[in-house]
Amino acid sequence: MIVQMMGVVAAQGILTLGDPAGYILFIIPSVLVSLSFAPILLSIQPTPAFEATRSLGLRELFRVSPLGMVGMLLMGGVFAGQFGMAAVYATEAGLSVPQISVFIAAIFFGAMVLQYPIGWLSDRIDRRLLILGVAGLGAAFSAVGIVLGEVFWVLVGVAFLNGGLGQPLYALLIAYTNDYLPPEDMAGASAGLIFVNGLGAIAGPLVIGWMLSAFGPAGFWMFMTVIMAAVALYAAWRMTRRPSVYAAEEDYEAVSYAPITPTASPVAVEAAQELYVEAAEELAAEAHEAHDPEGGGGRGAA
């Protein structure tokens, strides 16, 4: 994931290598994609074997984790804004091409830098509380962009924090949902969450485009503020609806956080999912051994 995010950050410099109205900037990524195939095509390793996983319907997934489903839907709009509409906003705000490159790079640099600190916290405190805090801070810093968006270096700082606080929520919501699932359902749940996230990503550009037309460049940050505040408020409400998994079982340990972003390749998603499953199975085995150290058939905690 770090290598991938470094590529995304570095790629923003490509904008300075040609005229955005010409075709050169389309040729460069095409060449890079062709080069990326070389290690795969030249490899003599056999293809990995894939196991069929149990599907999990959206209704069942919502029953398991309403916060995971609603959060993913809302964050799909935020991710669409960061990936697809940030450059449109920057153009509307009157930034030059080099400034647009720095602005976009700041979003993904923030995602790369803050992923691990947030993941570290995720394994040590109630994930709902962390989702509430991260989304709330994201909304607060996005609101700064509404007021001070005309100051370029303030804008870069806001972009860094918007990406750094927004993108880790993707992995946080998946990890939180997995806390309520047995290992065999985790892959199916991940597929459902990605689908819901895609629905939000479809709606996001349409809403942001309308807000840019209605409110000018500030509409971009208004959208970010409202959506991230909605995630925080929904997380706070869900905390009143059922106890934390941490409080439900005294010896419960959450599945480890795995850093992953909405731009993750299928290979990265699969690797993260394998980590979730392995962590869950190890915790279940350790809990079973703790309850039944002599193998007498005692109850193991999942």
Neighbours of 48 (CB within 10 A): 7
Q: What is residue 298's predicted lDDT score, i.e. its pLDDT?
A: 41
Q: What is residue 288's predicted lDDT score, i.e. its pLDDT?
A: 59
Backbone phi, then psi, for 235, in 5-degree steps?
A: -60, -40
Q: What is residue 274's predicted lDDT score, i.e. its pLDDT?
A: 65
Q: What is residue 151's predicted lDDT score, i.e. its pLDDT?
A: 92
Residue ranges in the chain whose pLDDT is less than 70: 48-53, 245-261, 263-302
Q: What is residue 145's predicted lDDT score, i.e. its pLDDT?
A: 94
Cβ 261 vs Cβ 169: under 8 Å = no
Domain regions of the chain by residue span: 58-290
Measured distance CA(127)–CA(85) in Å, rounded: 29
Q: At what angle do helices 152-166 and 66-80 cross, to 10 degrees?
A: 150
Q: At what angle do helices 218-238 and 183-215 cross, to 10 degrees?
A: 140
Cβ 146 vs Cβ 221: under 8 Å = yes
Cβ 245 vs Cβ 147: under 8 Å = no
CATH topology of domain 58-290: Growth Hormone; Chain: A; (1.20.1250)
Q: What is residue 292's predicted lDDT score, i.e. its pLDDT?
A: 59
Measured distance CA(43)–CA(96) in Å, rounded: 42
Backbone phi, then psi, for 101, in 5-degree steps?
A: -60, -45
Measured distance CA(157)–CA(145) in Å, rounded: 9
Q: What is residue 82's predicted lDDT score, i.e. its pLDDT?
A: 92
Q: Which amino acid is at 197?
A: N
Cβ 72 vs Cβ 173: under 8 Å = yes
Backbone phi, then psi, for 95, in 5-degree steps?
A: -75, 150
